[in-house]
Amino acid sequence: MSNTTEQSPVSGVRERAPLLRACAERYRESTPFEALTIGVSAPLTPHTGLFLDVLAAGGAEVLVTGEFGSAHADVLAWLDDHEGITPLSTVGMSETELADARRELLAAEPDLLADDGAYLLSLAHDEFPEAAANVRGACEQTTGGITRLQAMDEQGVLSFPVYDVNGAPMKQHFDNVHGTAESSLSALTSLTDMLVAGSVAVVGGYGQCGRGLARKLRALGARTIVTEADPRKALEAVADGHEVRPMREAVPDADLVVTATGRFGILRREHIEALADGAVVASIGSIIEIDTEAFGEMASDVTRPEPGVARYQFPDGRTVTLLTDGQVVNLAAPNGEGNPTPVMDTTFALMSRGLAAFAEGADLSPGLHPLPEAIDRAVAREKLDAIGVDIDEIPDEQRAYREQWAAHEGSDSPSEKEPR
């Protein structure tokens, strides 16, 4: 049972998260996680607190670590007082301390894992193979994490099944496209006081997060340039109306450069050398995207006018602003709480249902698996119900026609063709 009060950091997001409220009520009755330990690694925001509350309501003993630079003191205090949840992070802990906290979590041999970036999952296989062998299943919700897991899967090292929550349509088209873009824009403008309209904005990567950000920047009046390594995504960016250039050719004209890939080394030393005077640089994908060490090595002076803002003065006279030291800007910015609650409501509902499927006996081979379509559709249906939107039902005759595959006489007549 949750012991939240009206003053808790979670109470406000709970009101705007109908799916997670419903999950908690369901799981409190069915207790799918009874006698199970769930290990969670995620930014310790109010949204994550609500997700952990759902797992505890389902009977789980929850162990949780945060992510570097994203722990909220009020959320940690709330978790400390919450029955069934044990936080292993503290505010301001170093990366080394955070890694030790993850080791402490894995040493407890959890039955299920929920990850954000595959930090727990990779560490489990690297240092805790016996604990990994006993994990029933896991869920991963980020692009960067899935990239790491794809490599592990291709190398045949995954010892338990993992649901690719990031690949689910409800995650891709809402959390990634809209949630990340809107929360990141809010953080960018609050930290810099910049005017987007009329600026030149470079977006590194045209995955779901990158395209969402590029669209919203252009809608606000920015001239958008996209950089890509995938020719198909580059063509999509061109077709969507963005200019496409290599990063080295894009940054000299940029007022704003934002990496959005979750992959290593997107903005490197050669790009930093070419950045325009006055440019603002940030990441919305992962801290590994920007070579922050090169910033420090190349600069002649660094000033920090306010939290989350570092101004690097280079010997040639240029000044470049790096936001949140290259950490994910919508989480690491002061008062950054990640994506909006209505978006995290759907993503954590997907995560909760995925974990429940493993707890209830989903029998999958070790490796990376798509989240079941039935879960994705159920979450979409619940979300529509929650916001009061009705949709059509497929009539029996249309369903029968769609499932028909054999050729029949007269089947090409216009009256029998499926509407297009």
The CATH code of the domain that includes 236 is: 3.40.50.720
399 domain residue, yes or no = no
Q: How does residue 12 score in pLDDT terms, banded at 50, 70 and 90?
A: confident
Q: How does residue 124 score in pLDDT terms, banded at 50, 70 and 90?
A: very high
Compute the mean pLDDT over every residue in the chain, rounded to the nearest whole number. 93
Are 235 and 374 part of one and the same domain? no
Are 146 and 231 part of one and the same domain? no
Are 143 and 214 part of one and the same domain? no
Q: How many domains does the chain have?
A: 2
Are 228 and 260 part of one and the same domain? yes
The pLDDT value recorded for residue 1 is: 45
State which residues form the domain around 193.
177-332
Asked whether residue 4 carries a pLDDT value surpassing 70, the answer given is no
Are 203 and 308 part of one and the same domain? yes
- Reduced 3-state DSSP string for the chain: CCCCCCCCCCHHHHHCCHHHHHHHHHHHHHCCCCCCEEEEECCCCHHHHHHHHHHHHCCCEEEEECCCCCCCHHHHHHHHCCCCEEECCCCCCCHHHHHHHHHHHHHCCCCEEEECCCHHHHHHHHHCHHHHHCCCEEEECCHHHHHHHHHHHHCCCCCCEEEEHHHCHHHHHHHHHHHHHHHHHHHHHHHHCCCCCCCEEEEECCCHHHHHHHHHHHHCCCEEEEECCCHHHHHHHHHCCCEECCHHHHHHHCCEEEECCCCCCCECHHHHHHCCCCCEEEECCCHHHECHHHHHHHCCEEEEEECCEEEEECCCCCEEEEEHHHCEHHHHCCCCCCCCHHHHHHHHHHHHHHHHHHHCCCCCCCEEEECCHHHHHHHHHHHHHHCCCCCCCCCHHHHHHHHCCCCCCCCCCHHHCCCC
Mean pLDDT score, 373-394: 96
Are 202 and 289 part of one and the same domain? yes
Q: For residues 405 and 369, which has the higher predicted lDDT (pLDDT)?
A: 369
pTM of the entire predicted model: 0.89
pLDDT tens, position by position, 225-273: 999 999 999 999 999 999 999 999 999 999 999 999 989 999 999 999 9
Q: How does residue 410 score in pLDDT terms, banded at 50, 70 and 90?
A: low
pLDDT tens, position by position, 131-165: 999 999 999 999 989 999 999 999 999 999 999 99
The pLDDT value recorded for residue 7 is: 67
The pLDDT value recorded for residue 70 is: 67
Asked whether residue 284 carries a pLDDT value surpassing 70, the answer given is yes
The pLDDT value recorded for residue 408 is: 58
416 domain residue, yes or no = no
Mean pLDDT score, 84-111: 93
pLDDT tens, position by position, 45-75: 899 999 999 999 999 999 999 877 667 788 8
